[in-house]
Amino acid sequence: MNRLTTVGLVIVVILVLVALLAPWIATHDVGATNLSLRYLPPSSQYYFGTDSTGRDIFSRVVFGARISLKVGIVVVAVSAITGTLLGALAGYYGGWIDRIVSGYVFNVFLAFPGLLLAIAMVAFLGAGLNKLIFALCIIGWVGYARLIRGQVLKVREYDFVQAAMALGASDGRILFIHILPNAIQPLIVQASLGMAGAVLSEAALSFLGLGVPPPAPSWGVMIEEARDLSTLQAAPHALIFPGLAIALTVLAFNFIGDGLREYLDPRQRTR
């Protein structure tokens, strides 16, 4: 395990703890506005200062971790499971299922900017956390399906799988007991990078006003609120802290993904 992966893991563990313990870590009410306390710089009372309506930025960043992680976990779990099932079926059975999934769906989805599709869907459905999660799942599963399909095509040729087939094991048994456990490793890498992508997409859509509606402490919403010129002038920290939170989270998941990839693929280790 290399150093950057460890750094990534430490950041993620801290992030998860912060999200779980948010009500105890936060020092102020995330929604409490007080115009006489606006634009305060970071201090021992307001660790990250206050924003344009006098809300405590530290507490909002802390609660924002919950939104980011929730979106990331749900999106990755749903897309990974859907993608794995469809990819495995396509790779195992081949034939017309495979022709539709790999010939049509992969080509179409990959020839299309995912973020744009998510923006379009949420634009028509209306903003909201669940709709955002739904849109990200719709665009997310394809990558997993393609990965697993390729893996299944490879593993099904292995001798022990051929032996199981010759012994007359059922399709379900061969696929779930013999093939998938041996095909799933790269999925972990994909899932880690997928967490980074989902956190970024949630922040981007919330920034555009298409995610969680404004009073909620989403990091994307906080950046959107902090970027008008008068706030930038008076309180650049209102932009810097949520920005730092997004960057660190994305960086951490990318570190883990890269580290796992190297670990699982020893050829890359001796660079």
| Contacts with 116 (C-beta within 8 Å, 6 or more apart), sequence order | none
> Is 209 an interacting residue with respect to another protein (CB under 8 A)?
yes
CB of 244 to another protein, least distance (A): 8
> Is 9 an interacting residue with respect to another protein (CB under 8 A)?
no
In whole angstroms, what is the distance from residue 164 CA to residue 186 CA?
A: 23
How many residues sit close enough to another protein to count as binding (CB under 8 A)? 41
> Is 108 an interacting residue with respect to another protein (CB under 8 A)?
yes
Identify which range of 19-27, 54-62, 108-116, 168-176 contacts another protein by CB under 8 A: 108-116
CB of 156 to another protein, least distance (A): 25
> Are the beta carbons of 81 and 65 closer than 8 angstroms?
no
Amino acid at 5: T
CB of 165 to another protein, least distance (A): 30
CB of 271 to another protein, least distance (A): 9
Helices (H), the chain: 3-20, 22-25, 57-93, 95-98, 106-110, 114-125, 129-155, 159-166, 171-173, 180-183, 185-207, 219-226, 229-234, 237-264, 266-269
> Is 254 an interacting residue with respect to another protein (CB under 8 A)?
yes
> Is 100 an interacting residue with respect to another protein (CB under 8 A)?
no
Residue of 31, 257, 138 lying closest to 268 (CA atoms) = 257
Binding mask 218-237 for another protein (x = CB under 8 A): --x--xx-xx-x--xx--x-
Q: Choose between 32 and 120: whose C-beta lies nearer to another protein.
A: 120
CB of 254 to another protein, least distance (A): 6
- Other Cβ atoms closer than 10 A to 137: 21
> Are the beta carbons of 105 and 55 closer than 8 angstroms?
no
> Is 3 an interacting residue with respect to another protein (CB under 8 A)?
no
Binding mask 163-202 for another protein (x = CB under 8 A): -------------------------------------x--
8-state DSSP, 176: I
> Please, how many CA atoms are within 13 Å of residue 72, restricted to the half-sphere of its CB?
26
Applying CB under 8 A, the residues found at the interface with another protein are 104, 107-108, 111-117, 119-121, 123-126, 200, 203-204, 207-210, 220, 223-224, 226-227, 229, 232-233, 236, 239-240, 243, 246-247, 250-251, 254
